[in-house]
Amino acid sequence: MTKNLWVVANWKSNKNIAEALEWISLVGPKVERRDNLKVVVCPQFDALEEVKRAIQIANFPLLVGAQDLSPFTEGAYTGEESARALSDFVDLAILGHSERRQNFQETNEIVGKKTTQARSSNIVPLVCIQDSDTPVPQGVKLVAYEPIFAIGTDNPDTPENAGRIALALKQQYGEDLEVLYGGSVNADNCQSFIRQPNLSGLLIGRASLSAEEFGQIVDKCTYPHGS
Ligand code: PGA
């Protein structure tokens, strides 16, 4: 079976609805429809509905992800976004990003609860781990290795080390664990990560904000050895 190739755009708190829709209209037509190519865009919560609708109307081969979700079920949790409500719009949710662990005191236990909520609403949990010691919650099959020194810094890990960590994670959690790399990925370095046999894709912050650069990344990753 051909392995999946995930290219995930994490916009963080950057785009309003108009900017999000413009990006979709530029990137959508450039993405090839292939079973194993999973291009995912993760907007802020407020843009999810419109982004989902724009993708459906144009029939673009893009998936939609949330950047977080509530550790609780629906109910009296003011301000939280429940997995059940999000599942109307998203296929996947980024959980345990280091910015949430640092700025919002998110613990491994909370990440575990969010994972349970995601899975109970058929949302794929994409759990971010900062090193190979960060626990991967039970049942998770998609993780992103994102070392803190590499996030937002222009100082990516080496593809070889990212590949080594991916192999170690697969040995620990099972061969069917898909491991992405994230941290200072851009159009120049994306192919070197994709060529690592144990990596299944990329989680991209800053370089995903430009539709042009993200389109280049998807193209280069689709044809890592030249088209
Ligand atoms: P960066 O962010 O690509 O801007 O380094 C990656 C991330 O935080 O997922």
Tell me the whole-structure pTM to 2 decimals.
0.97
Residue 198 CA, ligand 1 centroid: distance in Å: 20
Q: Is residue 53 helix, strand or coil?
A: helix
CA–CA dist 157, 149 (Å, integer): 8
Residue 223 has pLDDT above 90, yes or no: no
| Atom 1 in ligand 1: residue holding the nearest Cα | 205
- pLDDT for 102: 95
CA–CA dist 90, 220 (Å, integer): 26
Q: Is 213 a catalytic residue?
A: no
Shortest-distance atom of ligand 1 to CA 207:
3
- With a 6 A CB cut-off, is 146 part of the ligand 1 pocket? yes
Sequence-distant (6+) residues with CB within 8 A of 128 are 94, 95, 96, 97, 98, 143, 144, 146, 182, 203
- With a 6 A CB cut-off, is 151 part of the ligand 1 pocket? yes
- With a 6 A CB cut-off, is 203 part of the ligand 1 pocket? yes
Strand-strand pairing, 92-95 and 124-129: parallel
Residue 227 has pLDDT above 70, yes or no: no
- With a 6 A CB cut-off, is 96 part of the ligand 1 pocket? no
Residue 139 CA, ligand 1 centroid: distance in Å: 25
- With a 6 A CB cut-off, is 182 part of the ligand 1 pocket? yes
| Atom 7 in ligand 1: residue holding the nearest Cα | 205
**Which pLDDT band, with edges at 50, 70 and 90, does 1 fall under?**
low
Sequence-distant (6+) residues with CB within 8 A of 161 are none
pLDDT tens column, 56-65: 999 999 999 9
Residue 206 CA, ligand 1 centroid: distance in Å: 6
Residue 57 CA, ligand 1 centroid: distance in Å: 29
Q: Is 97 a catalytic residue?
A: yes
pLDDT tens column, 149-195: 999 999 999 999 999 999 999 999 999 999 999 999 999 999 999 99
